Structure 1
Amino acid sequence: MTVYGVGLGPGDPKLVTVKGRDILDSVTTVYSPGRLSRTVARQHVPSSRIGDLDFPMTRDPDKLRRAWKDAANAVAEKAMSDDVAFVTLGDPNVYSTFGHLRRTLSAFHPAISVEVIPGVSAMTAFATALDIEIESGTGLSLREAANGSAPTGPDRMILFKVTDAVETHEKLTAAGYNVQFGRRLFMEQGETMITTDPTEIAERDYYTLAYAEREGIEQTVPTAAFNTSSEESV
């Protein structure tokens, strides 16, 4: 049988893909790594079909490896006779906890089939929430910015895990970037926030993103001329 890694999207239950929803309807058990993904899954799956897995709040690598091995054992045992799913926010292959399960299954249960059902990533949904167009030919970098980190270099960046917005903002503006922040976008849990003022989101929150664009960037696509105030016909 098969273990499906199903991407739930950025948090809105309506942004789960049709295929993802079909898989959730078809499997006998749906496992979740956390409260937020479980909340979204419950909009599509009755609680009786949601399985429990225990993940400790720790950075100890030995404890984490044991936890993932225990989780893989539980999932594999169920998958010996039935199709099951492991859900995660965003896309299972983009900065996702599903990678830990997949690697552990591969190491200890290589006979178990694994299939990924992609989901809408929080990073791409973020551009929509800010009404930012990443036009054709644009260079865009995806970076992690935890604990005040502020990677620079590319003209446009989407940063995730922004846990110190104030420090990240200070460093990026000093490097010549304009910065916008978004928190818990498309989520029903917690306050949704879009702002250019980092002090409004100074409290640490794992689900905070930032869009940084170097000052003076010009659009080069042909239709960019339609955004100008020129009276000249094009």
Structure 2
Amino acid sequence: MTVYGVGLGPGDADLVTVKGKQILESVDVVYSPGRLSRTVALNHVPESRIGDLDFPMTRDPDELRRAWKEAAAEVAEQAKSSDVAFVTLGDPNVYSTFGHLRRTLDAFHPEVELEVVPGVSAMTAFATALGVEIESGTGLSLREAANGAAPTGPDRMILFKVTDAVATHEGLTDAGYDVKFGRRLFMEQGETLVTSDPKEIEERDYYTLAYAEREGLERDVATAEFDGVDSEGSA
């Protein structure tokens, strides 16, 4: 039998892919690592088929290893007799808790078949939510910015885990960037907020992203207008 890692998207139940929805409806058990992913999954499966796994909020490596081994053992046991799914917000292979489960299954239960069903990640959905166009030829870097970090270098960056927006904004503006923030984008839980003012999102929230672009960055974007041609198409 197969364990499916299913990406639920950024939090809106309607943004689950067609294949993801089909998998959720077909498996016997849908395991969830937390409250938010559970809430999204419940839009597609009854609560009787949800299996909750305990992942403690700790940095203690021994406790984390124990929790992941126990979770993998439960999932592997269920997978002996039926297909199961493990759901996660975003995409299972992009900064996801599914990676811990996959590595633990590979190490202790190599007989388990695994299949990943991609999902819309917040790092890609941000472009629509923030009204930012990432045009052809654009270089874009993905960086973590927890605890006030303000990484610099690339002309354009997506920053995730922005937990101290004020400090991150200060560091980036001092380095010559324009910054726009998005919090809980496309999420049904909590308030979605898009702003250029870090004080509006001063309260720490793990589900905050930012887009940083170097000030004065020139663009060469193709349009429907051409030099020397009028609106009727004549020179």
TM over 0.5: yes
| Matches for 1:1-150 after TM superposition, within 5 Å | 1-150=1-150
SS in 1 for 2:223: helix
* Number of the residue aligned with 1:205: 205
C-alpha displacement of 1:222: 2.3
1:224–1:163: structure 2 CA closer, same or farther, 3 Å change rule? farther
Give 4+ residue runs of structure 1 displaced > 4 Å after superposition.
Answer: 230-234
The one-letter code of the counterpart of 2:20 is: G
SS in 2 for 1:69: helix
1:160 & 1:168 partners in 2: Cα distance? 11
Deviates further, 99-108 or 123-132 = 123-132
| Matches for 1:171-182 after TM superposition, within 5 Å | 171-182=171-182
The one-letter code of the counterpart of 1:82 is: S
1:167 paired to 2:148:
no
C-alpha displacement of 1:43: 0.4
1:171 & 1:56 partners in 2: Cα distance? 32
**Alignment identity in percent?**
80
C-alpha displacement of 1:81: 0.7
The one-letter code of the counterpart of 1:172 is: L
The Cα offsets for residues 154-187 of structure 1, whole Å up to 9 and x where unpaired, read as 1100000000000000000000000000101111
Tell me, which stretches of 5 or more residues in structure 1 are unaligned? none
The Cα offsets for residues 100-121 of structure 1, whole Å up to 9 and x where unpaired, read as 0000000000000000000000
SS in 1 for 2:158: strand
Query: What is the CA RMSD across the aligned residues, in angstroms?
Result: 1.6
1:223–1:90: structure 2 CA closer, same or farther, 3 Å change rule? same
C-alpha displacement of 1:225: 6.3
The Cα offsets for residues 204-230 of structure 1, whole Å up to 9 and x where unpaired, read as 00000000000111222322868xxx9
The Cα offsets for residues 128-152 of structure 1, whole Å up to 9 and x where unpaired, read as 1011110011000011000000111
* Number of the residue aligned with 2:219: 219
Contact 2:34 2:52 in 1 (8 A): no
1:232 & 1:212 partners in 2: Cα distance? 36
1:23–1:175: structure 2 CA closer, same or farther, 3 Å change rule? same
State the TM-score, normalized to the length of structure 1: 0.96
C-alpha displacement of 1:3: 0.3
SS in 1 for 2:85: strand
SS in 2 for 1:87: strand
Tell me, which stretches of 5 or more residues in structure 2 are unaligned? none
1:127 & 1:133 partners in 2: Cα distance? 6
State the TM-score, normalized to the length of structure 2: 0.95
1:161–1:231: structure 2 CA closer, same or farther, 3 Å change rule? farther
1:45 & 1:189 partners in 2: Cα distance? 18
C-alpha displacement of 1:191: 1.1
